Amino acid sequence: MISAVAAKINEQVMSKEKIFGQLADAIAATLATAAHFTLTLDGEDSQFTRFNRAQVRQTGEVSDGNLTLTLMQTDRTAAATVPFVGEFEADWSLLKTALADLQAMLPQLPVDPFVVLPTGSATSRMVNQGEILDADAIASTLLTPVNNLDFTGIYAGGLIFRGYADSADQRHWFESTSYSLDFSLFDAQNRAVKGTFAGNQWQQSKFLDKINQAKHQLAMMSRPAKTVERGQYRTYLAPAAVAELLHMFSWGGVSEADLQQGNSAFGLLRQGKHSLSAKFTLQENFQQANMPRFNIYGEVAPLQLPIIEQGKLVNSLVSSRSAKEYQIPSNYASRGEYLRAPEILPGTLAADQILTSLNTGLYLSNLHYLNWSDHPNGRITGMTRYACFWVEQGEIVAPIENLRFDESLYQCFGKGLVDLTDFQETIPNIDTYGQRGLGGSRVPGILTNDFTYTL
Amino acid sequence: MFKFLSDVVTAATISADWIGIRAIKDTTKACAIRDAHPERNTQQFGQGAMVEVLAQGQFGYSATNNLSATALANAIVTAYKQAVAASTWSVHKFTTAARPQAKGTYVSPHRKGLDALSPGELNQILLQICQRLKVSDKIAQTTASARSHDIETWFVTSNGSEIYQRDYLVETHFGTIAQDGPTTQLRTDHGYLAQSYQGGWELFPGLDLWQRVQQVGTQAVELLHADNCPDLTTTLVLAPDQMMLQIHESIGHPLELDRILGDERNYAGGSFIKLEDFGCLTYGSELMNVTFDPTVPGELASYGFDDVGTPATREYLIRGGKLERGLGGLESQQRSQVPGVANSRASSWNRPAIDRMANINLEPGDRTFEQMIANIEHGIYMETNRSWSIDDQRHKFQFGCEYGKLIEQGKLTRTLKNPNYRSITPQFWQSLSQVGDRNTWEMYGTPFCGKGEPNQLIRVGHGSPVCAFDNIEVFGGAV
């Protein structure tokens, strides 16, 4: 059953890659030599099955794809996106119209002094084949083991593909057959624990392990909840909670454009007015990422790039557009200069020492709905969520009623940082806005002092 | 298009209880200028169809961007298989009552078309906005952007529904960041893309555009040297461009029936509201009157029918502070037996419809702005959202604004930077003490309401007068 799915996906992908190449060739043959272009493709054939109370709420599949043609001529640029269905005649018809629209639009536009022309010679091909569940088998495979539980969440799986081609003859292809399961288990008091499970190969035994871990954690939530007064507490943030904080680094954080334009939480770090702990090191690491390394300019990111090294901001993310504007070298970041394969390096805190080292304070498994509350000072507000506990003298005493926190990155990753765990976890990117996300972050847990709770 | 889609539905040979196709063609044009240089000029043409099948009490779907008859016929078969495979695990056994027959047309009101401004003209206007925002050398960044959407939807079903809707949308934004040493301050035109409406290019540039540009630039610089908002509990007065967010997060989301039924618990969260609260809970003070109204001309989320064909009507959600009705479409109404609204909506053809807000508006009261302020001995007035966070039950929230004013002895006095406030939803709405009149009522929209699995971003509109709340905890920033 699983092999048949893999064979079908493989056949579809071969065709998509071939058609994409033919479309790029057709653009190149049509354009005048003075014009430059890039052509990108992103698409998916995805299954989405949504669960509530160990039953199916909604189920279906989505077959989608988009081509984006960017035209550059006489220092002007514009882009057009059209559907990609994987049939040359249909796709070329729309793409040809888009090209004509762009050619009509370009002369009307102001000169763009920072336009990035394709100049490299990079090519790449990355294929992550997978063996995932057949659509017919998803409900029974996932729900049979949890039929006596309040299991809620979503399974998303299938093929994701990305393509790149340009007038400098650079070519990239990326495809990945993968799945993710993002779920919560609830008890009768509406307390919950969270689990995520993702990969290229469905492994039923690992799924059952995940469910059993979540059941064990949920049992600990059955004790009467403690209401914690607002104040500052020593706090352990598990890897999933750290990953939520890490997301903020990509929203007015380590982008060079944001730093230059007064829109970064790390402007004061760069100016030397704030500092982070020497125990904190952040890097981009594509070594094991299920993520294309090429960007919309066809550039391939370095396998590793240190961003914050022992508390010092050693690199920002610099796209070639920012490089041109600010006259600095590019490190081939994405156009939006967000982290694509972030990794926080581990520390020395062993798993079996977490509660002892925490001693008395809060153990937070997850955080929810983060936002800047004082952006220039790196201060973030958000909520605790799921399995969060009050700990006394190294022992879990009780789950807590959810708390609002309001704390600066310069506190929790700065002077408050006691240690990071000696292990990391991969937190998959399970976003499905517009399309299924790729990659994830690799993070340890952290132990920090005087974490501030406000409501 | 109707005949083509009807023929595809009629030709299907599966033994389904119901088949529906929601086909969409949309064109989006976007232009952005930053610091007087072009940042983005794009156009996007999209098309696709959401094919839904009801079989054995379960809906299944298959969405494709291939609108050929063959692809749609294949999608019907796939959707049928999806429904059958899941039917032994259904959360609810639905009937065709969740998809009643409907026929009709809706077109956004508009006086000019979306081609009334050329890309060149639009770039020039946005470029001028950036130039005029730079009122001082303390201005570190200026941005201006505009987007238009032309969205056509055809809804055709096996029980005879035929609905055509065409949305014309214009979304605009400008803002600036002022910087002086370590201090930076953001000021925008009522929040990011809050100026989002239905209509054509008659909406932009408006008559007051250049005055607003001047004010945004000037206030950004003014904030650099303003005092921080003090930390205290006081009377809070919110402008409509912050009320938009307040209504959205602490009324709209908690009233969504799918959240209360548990569908959303793994992602956006549940709600502190229970099904038994409808019809009896006192949500807020008796000054509180809130409507679900997709019939307001020009408001961003107006429509004739929701995405499963339910005719749109104006309904009170909260009247005189009492909770009357939930935000749930026909599926949630069947499951919960709670009165709902026409709000089964999808972000596009590639997502199934779920319970969403549309236009959620707070109805005006009878006080002028001057009367409201004159009634306050001490308080803080806040404009324009810049930070938002609320818990998964929509209970404990903390919101931040761009611009504040101190209220002393019935007058607006000093400007305040970094104004924030925090509260708990029921207490907050119980503390509603003054509601501004129709002259204070303003309407905004946002294209960024996120929810659902798979995730969906959808457009919502919110109109509100100025409102005052007693005894709210407010606070400022670090420097």
Q: Which domains does chain A have, with CATH numbers?
A: 3-219 (3.30.2290.10), 231-453 (no CATH)
- 8 A C-beta contact, residue B153 and residue B140: no
Residues of chain A found within 8 Å of residue B269, distances taken between Cβ atoms: 368
- Distance CA(A334)–CA(A308), nearest Å, equals 18
Bridge partner list, A182: A154, A196
Inter-chain touch A368–B269, beta carbons under 8 Å? yes
For residue A348, the distance in angstroms to the closest alpha carbon of chain B comes to 32
Nearest neighbour of A374 by CB, restricted to B118, B389, B477: B477
- Is A262 in CB contact (< 8 Å) with chain B? yes
The answer to whether B141 contacts A261, with C-beta atoms less than 8 Å apart, is yes
Asked if A373 lies within 8 A of B424 by C-beta distance, the reply is no
Confidence tier at A1 by pLDDT (50, 70, 90): very low
How confident is the model at residue A53, as a pLDDT? 98
A49 touches chain B (CB under 8 A): yes
Minimal CA separation from A300 to chain B, in Å:
23
CA A158 to CA A181: how far, in whole Å? 12
Q: Which whole-number Å values give the CA distances from A20 to A26, A27, A294, B376, in the listed order?
A: 10, 11, 16, 65
DSSP state, B250? I
- Look up residue B26 and give its two tokens: 């949309």
Other CB atoms within 10 Å distance of the CB of residue A356: 13
Return the H-helix or E-strand segment holding B340.
none
Amino acid occupying residue B364: P
The pLDDT, as a whole number, for residue B66 is 98
How far are the Cα atoms of A24, A82, A89, A346, B365 from residue A31, in angstroms, in the given order? 11, 18, 18, 51, 61
CB–CB contact A53 B60 (8 Å) = no
Name residues whose C-beta falls within 8 Å of residue A250's C-beta, 6 or more positions apart in sequence: A338, A339, A342
Q: How close A73 gets to chain B, by Cα (Å)?
A: 14
Lowest mean pLDDT segment, chosen from A7-16, A146-155, A158-167, B258-267: A7-16
Using an 8 Å CB-CB cutoff, list chain B residues near A267: 182, 184
**Nearest chain A CA: its distance from B293 CA (Å):** 26
| Residue in A82, A186, A271 closest to B45 by CB | A82
User: Looking at the predicted structure, is the pLDDT value of residue B303 above 70?
Assistant: yes
**DSSP H/E element including A344:** strand A342-344
What span, in angstroms and rounded, lies between the C-alpha atoms of B198 and B298? 5
pLDDT confidence of residue B231: 97
Tell me which residue in B71, B85, B178 faces A135 most closely, judged by beta carbons.
Answer: B85
How sure is the predictor about A10, in pLDDT bands with cuts at 50, 70 and 90? low
Closest CA to B328 of B360, B356, B292: B356
Average pLDDT over residues B355-383: 98
CB contact under 8 A, B261 and A52: yes
SS3 A147: coil
Residue with tokens 């038994």: B276
What number is the average pLDDT over the span B13-27?
97
Locate the DSSP E strands across B79-214.
103-107, 139-157, 162-180, 183-188, 195-198
- The partner residues of A48 in beta bridges, in order of sequence, read A60, A156
Given a contact cutoff of 8 angstroms between Cβ atoms, the answer to whether A439 and A291 are in contact is: yes
Q: Do A60 and B60 touch (CB under 8 A)?
A: yes
Q: How many angstroms separate the Cα of A96 from the Cα of each of A31, A105, A266, B150, B361?
A: 11, 14, 44, 21, 44
Q: How far apart are CA B121 and CA B29, in angstroms?
A: 13
**Cα–Cα nearest to A151, from A61, A48, A56, A46:** A56
- pLDDT, one tens digit per residue, over B435-456 is 999 999 999 999 999 999 999 9
Which helix (H) or strand (E) covers residue B121, if one does?
helix B119-133
Taking CA–CA distances from B420, the nearest residue in chain A reads: A373
pLDDT in tens, A175-189: 999 999 999 999 999
Q: Which residue in A38, A59, A74 has the most chain B C-beta atoms within 10 A of its own C-beta, making it the best mutation to test that interface?
A: A59
Residue pair B20/B155 in contact by the 8 Å Cβ criterion:
yes
Query: Are B229 and A373 a contacting pair, CB within 8 Å?
Result: no
Q: What is the model's pLDDT at position A34?
A: 84
Query: Which of A46, A373, A375, A431 should one mutate to test binding to chain B, selecting the residue with the greatest count of B CBs within 10 A?
Result: A373
From B45, B183, B387, residue closest to A373, measured CB to CB: B387
- Tell me the backbone φ, ψ of residue A22, rounded to 5 degrees: -65, -40
Instruction: For chain B, say whether A81 makes contact (Cβ under 8 Å).
Output: yes
B455 vs A77: CB contact, 8 Å cut-off?
A: no
pLDDT band at A4 (very low <50, low <70, confident <90, very high): low
Cis omega (within 30 of 0) for bond into B205: yes
User: Cis bond leading into A145, ω under 30°?
Assistant: no
Question: Average pLDDT for residues B404-412, to the nearest whole number?
Answer: 98
Mean pLDDT of chain B: 98
Using DSSP's 3-state secondary structure scheme, residue B445 falls into: strand
Kind plus residue range of the DSSP H or E element containing B320: none
Are A182 and B453 a contacting pair at CB < 8 A? Answer: yes
Residue A13 confidence class, pLDDT cut points 50, 70, 90:
low
CB burial readout A396-429, b (16+ within 10 A) else e: eebbbebbbbbbbbbbbbbebbbbbbeebbbbbb
pLDDT for A277-325, tens place per residue? 999 999 999 998 889 999 999 999 999 999 999 999 999 999 999 999 9
Q: Closest chain B residue to A112 measured between Cα atoms?
A: B38
Q: Which residues of B touch A402 (CB under 8 A)?
A: 391-393, 396
The Cα–Cα gap between A439 and A340 comes to: 7
